């Protein structure tokens, strides 16, 4: 009897230790699975790409190149829009004021006033100024393309030498004309809305905000589809453009609130307006890059999922 009890106790002990071992074996894959899922999660991928692309530095570089391109870009866009709509100058200035602030609007007016005093296009100095105008206006878009290529991890074989420079400059110039066209569309829509809702002025801000959101979405979708040197599907580009437009609208209000409260340009005296403009471009560029980051990571993950699905 004692022998039988000992055997039972022994077998019970074995079953108990075996159960603990099984539970232990069952816990380890579960923990590894959780860790693996966390490492492959969307937030982890976004943080990793944010660090790899060095977006803070890219935003600072974009703000710096925007400073170099500010005058020629403004004049070129104004020339494009004014050629199609003679009354566009004042509307463009008002949009700059609404977007960046009254200080930036004053800076833009100063740039335009000074440009009107320059030599005419018929002189040698005027021709040289026009060439520099086109080249200067494309610098910021070259930096934008480089930053987006980092975010989208393009692996395309780029041209080298003079052909690469000419291609990038031509593409950047195309972006300038596209920007001018979008501004023209935006100003036209605003004019149409003001006429259409003249008897319902209370509804005008809501409809105007919706139209602005749609224009932003279209602009960012075009940017994400065409600017990076790799293909991004229209579906993902439009989705990313909508998310970026929402972030941009919210961020624009937040940046405006920050600039009013902090007043970072007050310590720079007469240069304060320029400093405020650079700060605005820095934070606005960071918002656009974060939207591009979301678009790139989601696009890659969805494409990878479709590739692994059975046909």
More confident call, 2 vs 250: 250
Most confident of 40-44, 179-183, 192-196: 40-44
Q: Which residues of 266-289 are buried (b: 16+ CB within 10 A; e: fewer)?
A: eeeeeeebbbbbbbbbbbbbbbbb
pLDDT tens digits for 93-111? 777 777 666 666 777 777 7
More confident call, 266 vs 209: 209
More confident call, 244 vs 157: 244
Q: Name the percent of the chain lying above pLDDT 90.
A: 9
- Distance (Å, whole) CA 111 – CA 140: 18
Binning pLDDT at 50, 70 and 90, where does residue 232 land?
A: confident
* Average pLDDT score over residue span 288-298: 91
Residues 140, 171 contacting (CB under 8 angstroms): no
Whole-Å CA distances, 273 to 2, 100, 259: 96, 11, 11
* Average pLDDT score over residue span 85-92: 68
pLDDT tens digits for 53-73? 899 999 999 888 888 777 777
Query: % helix / strand / coil in the chain, to the nearest 5?
Result: 85, 0, 15
The pTM of the full predicted model, rounded to 2 decimals, is 0.72
Q: How does DSSP assign 281-310, residue by residue?
A: HHHHHHHHHHHHHHHHHHHHHHHHHHHHS-
* Average pLDDT score over residue span 274-286: 86
- Distance (Å, whole) CA 235 – CA 246: 17
């Amino acid at each position: 009897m004692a022998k039988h009890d000992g055997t039972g106790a022994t077998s019970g002990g074995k079953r108990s230790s075996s159960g603990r071992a099984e539970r232990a074996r069952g816990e380890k894959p579960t923990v590894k699975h959780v860790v693996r899922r966390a490492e492959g999660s969307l937030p982890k991928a976004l943080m990793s790409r944010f660090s790899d692309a060095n977006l803070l530095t890219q935003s600072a570089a974009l703000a710096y190149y925007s400073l170099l391109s500010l005058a020629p870009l403004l004049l070129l866009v104004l020339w494009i829009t004014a050629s199609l709509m003679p009354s566009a100058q004042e509307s463009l200035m008002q949009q700059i004021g609404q977007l960046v602030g009254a200080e930036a609007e004053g800076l833009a007016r100063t740039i335009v006033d000074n440009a009107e005093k320059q030599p005419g296009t018929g002189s040698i100095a005027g021709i040289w100024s026009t060439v520099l105008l086109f080249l200067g206006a494309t610098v910021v878009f070259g930096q934008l393309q480089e930053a987006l290529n980092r975010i989208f991890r393009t692996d395309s074989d780029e041209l080298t030498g003079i052909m690469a420079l000419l291609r990038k400059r031509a593409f950047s110039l195309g972006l300038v004309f596209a920007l001018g066209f979008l501004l023209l569309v935006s100003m036209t829509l605003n004019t149409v809305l003001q006429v259409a809702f003249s008897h319902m002025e209370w509804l005008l801000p809501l409809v105007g905000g919706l139209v602005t959101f749609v224009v932003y979405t279209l602009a960012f979708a075009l940017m994400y589809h065409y600017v990076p040197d790799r293909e991004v599907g229209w579906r993902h580009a439009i989705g990313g453009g909508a998310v970026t437009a929402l972030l941009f609208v919210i961020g624009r209000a937040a940046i405006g609130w920050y600039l009013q409260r902090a007043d970072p340009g007050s310590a720079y005296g007469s240069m304060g307006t320029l400093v405020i403009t650079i700060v605005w471009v820095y934070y606005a560029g960071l918002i656009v890059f974060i939207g591009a980051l979301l678009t790139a990571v989601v696009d890659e993950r969805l494409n990878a999922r479709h590739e692994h699905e059975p046909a």
